Amino acid sequence: SAVISQKPSRDICQRGTSLTIQCQVDSQVTMMFWYRQQPGQSLTLIATANQGSEATYESGFVIDKFPISRPNLTFSTLTVSNMSPEDSSIYLCSAATGTETYEQYFGPGTRLTVT
């Protein structure tokens, strides 16, 4: 299993600013992901964070808006850039160990409100 922590847990930001969310896993993991949940919507995958290389973004998400870093096997950051009220969401970090039975673990989320 993997225990994931995120910070900050919540923030209120002004439009046009940027926020960086940090994700720390207590063990080395194969894969790390970033999701968001907008109000009333599914948990939606933003990107897969690749160690030492550019993240792989899902359709509708771009690097300029959501730059991601993953410098090692236990840590990743997601930046929400040039924020607008539509970015108000819960952002979750996730990790998978890639063993025989695929299991995905989640952090507690960062609740972002953009005013």
Partner 1 sequence: ILNVEQSPQSLHVQEGDSTNFTCSFPSSNFYALHWYRWETAKSPEALFVMTLNGDEKKKGRISATLNTKEGYSYLYIKGSQPEDSATYLCALPGNTPLVFGKGTRLSVIA
Q: Tell me the CA distances in angstroms from 68 to 1, 2, 40, 47, 99, one per residue in order.
A: 24, 20, 25, 8, 25
Amino acid at 71: P
The residue (of 38 and 82) whose beta carbon lies closer to partner 1 is 38
**25 binds partner 1 per the rule CB under 8 A:** no
The residue (of 18 and 38) whose beta carbon lies closer to partner 1 is 38
Which residue in the set 29, 91, 107, 112 belongs to the binding site for partner 1 (CB under 8 A)? Answer: 107
Choices 15-23, 35-43, 64-72, 73-81; region in contact with partner 1 by CB under 8 A: 35-43
